[in-house]
Amino acid sequence: MSQSLLTQLIDLQGHTFLWLQIYSTTMFFGLCFVAGLITRTPVTAKPPADRVTDMYYWLLAPAVRMLARVIVAGLLFATATLLGREISPALFKGFGPVAQQPSWLLAIELLMVMDLSSYWTHRLFHTVPFLWRFHAIHHSATKIRWSTTARVHPINEFFNYALGIVPAFLLGFPIGMVLAMIPILAWYAIAAHTDWNPSYGPLSRIFASPRFHRWHHTMSHEGGNKNFSNVFSLWDLLFGSYYLPQGRMPEVFGLDDGYMPERYLTQLAAPFRSQPLLPNDPTSAPQAVEEHAPKTPSSAPSRLRSAS
């Protein structure tokens, strides 16, 4: 890699971090203001503890993302070297048959590729016990709102970012287009975590609605081990994890296999604790009737056992 390209990348990371920090901070407090107007919450009202915790995730997310970008950039350069490709700015414009397609077709294909990668990454974090310890932080929220979107442990965030970008790069998609797709996916995720609970009717079998995702935040004997898709719910239909019961709404959210502290720093340390998470008893809740997926046995309520 030439010295000039390395210098360009370092300068780009610095400028990107500044704008990403401004963007994340402005978006968090802006959405707080809009949510307050909609719910008619007084400005002087004390924010709930979980939103304060979410605030730290939002404000520190740019630093986590920039670290992930540096590591992923190193992985991309190493991969390119192994593939025998020259390390140059042209490398990020895409390569092979994929890069020769029209831009509109590239965008559609890239959206589906990144969402499919997100589906399996998400499902992996529910299946592997060690990874679940990190992802459990996101599921610890007992009230699902837009701010819950950023409640993601840095280790979880790194895997989300890396496994979204690296496969697309290996397939030949332009990295510039990949990076431009990330904010679109992020805004869709924010919409899926809103306080509202709409479904998309027949389109719910294609696109993930807020109600679809809210079921994913329920107990594992309901939808907690279903609905892994971010944008296209059709992945859940294809792979047997679709869950959208008719005539009922998701009501109880959070963890059914452990306690999670509320403060930001203690949450970051929680996955590394030597003692297991304190168990709760989810068996008192009624069993869910699933519409398109096999029923989870009541004798195995853990997310980890039923996610595979």
Query: Residues 131-158: what's their mean pLDDT?
Result: 94
pLDDT in the model for residue 288? 37
Residues 6 or more apart whose Cβ sits within 8 Å of residue 218: 224, 250, 251, 252, 253, 288
Q: Model confidence over 228-255: pLDDT tens digits? A: 999 999 999 999 999 999 888 998 999 9
Q: Which residues pair with 232 in a beta bridge?
A: 207
- Tell me the C-alpha to C-alpha distance, in Å, between residue 163 and each of 69, 167, 174, 193: 12, 6, 16, 22
Q: Model confidence over 48-99: pLDDT tens digits? A: 888 899 999 999 988 888 888 878 877 877 777 787 766 666 667 888 899 8
Measured distance CA(196)–CA(273) in Å, rounded? 35
- Tell me the C-alpha to C-alpha distance, in Å, between residue 149 and each of 48, 172, 186, 274: 16, 29, 8, 27
| Residue whose C-alpha is closest to residue 60's, from 13, 96, 106, 28 | 28
Q: Which structure tokens are listed for 205?
A: 């079998």
User: E-assigned strands of 103-204?
Assistant: none
- Tell me the C-alpha to C-alpha distance, in Å, between residue 284 and each of 19, 173, 221, 231, 260: 48, 49, 11, 32, 20
CA angle 104, 15, 9 (to 5 degrees): 75
- Percentage of residues of the chain with pLDDT beyond 70: 80
pLDDT in the model for residue 75? 80
Q: Model confidence over 8-48: pLDDT tens digits? A: 555 545 556 677 788 888 888 888 888 888 877 776 678 88
Q: Model confidence over 274-288: pLDDT tens digits? A: 654 433 333 333 333
| Residue whose C-alpha is closest to residue 24's, from 49, 60, 52, 54 | 60
Q: Which structure tokens are listed for 65?
A: 């993302």
- Tell me the C-alpha to C-alpha distance, in Å, between residue 206 and each of 227, 233, 259: 12, 5, 34
**Run of H or E residues at 264:** helix 264-269
